[in-house]
Amino acid sequence: MAVSACVALVACACGPEKTKADTEGQPSQSSPSMRGDETSAMPSASARTEQPSVEPTGDRSAPRTQAGAIQRYEQYLHALGREDIDTVCEVAGPGAKKAQDEGLGPCTSTFAVVFQMISPTQKKALQTATVDPQRIIVSTPDKIDIPVEAIRASVTFSEDELGNSTLEYLKNDWYITG
């Protein structure tokens, strides 16, 4: 339960200011391919080199589709498993700002604690986790809820361990907002 609470709160601690600054100088983490298993299994540095970094995110928007949201969330799960703080905080940016405003520290320090709460077996499972598109909930074209039951991994995660996530399409990409 503690991991879920921290993940949920931290998914609210890397503010949009950081996200905007990070995404303006770097391409979107999403690639045109909707196959999350290929793009998200790569380390974040490799994923960043797939697209030219000179183009701002606004000129190269991520797909505003269910598949785009799923790919983005899988990228977050894989980064969580690799302890890739930059990618985790970039994807969780707007939601993480809420937690920071409620008294938690910045995303980078808060997720450092979360990483310690996830077992090595769970981290390994997160690195290859996928999302079952049949189990997501589309609230609006810009808002998708991903319940923990939609996560497919070599270990089963409970709501207490990982929690449910809401992704919203903001600034030409999908971000965890809750």
Highest mean pLDDT among 70-74, 98-102, 110-114, 158-162: 70-74
Residues 6+ apart with CB under 8 A from 85: 107, 108, 111, 112, 115
- On whether the CB atoms of residues 121 and 155 are closer than 8 A, the answer is yes
Per-residue model confidence (pLDDT) at position 115: 93
Per-residue model confidence (pLDDT) at position 60: 56
Q: For the segment 2-56, what is each residue's pLDDT rounded down to a tens digit?
A: 444 445 444 433 333 333 333 333 333 333 333 333 333 333 333 333 332 223 3
For every residue of the chain, DSSP letters joined together read -HHHHHHHHHTBTS-HHHHHHHHHHS--S--S---HHHHTTS-HHHHHTTS-TTS-GGGSPPP-SHHHHHHHHHHHHHHHHHT-HHHHHHHTHHHHHHHHHTT---HHHHHHHHHHHS-HHHHHHHTT-EE-GGG-EEEETTEEEE-GGGEE-SS---TTTT--EEEEEETTEEEE--
Mean pLDDT within 140-144:
96
- Pairing of the two strands 151-152 and 130-131: antiparallel
Which is more confident, 60 or 133? 133
Degrees, nearest 5: CA angle 69-70-74: 120
Q: What is the pTM of this model?
A: 0.69
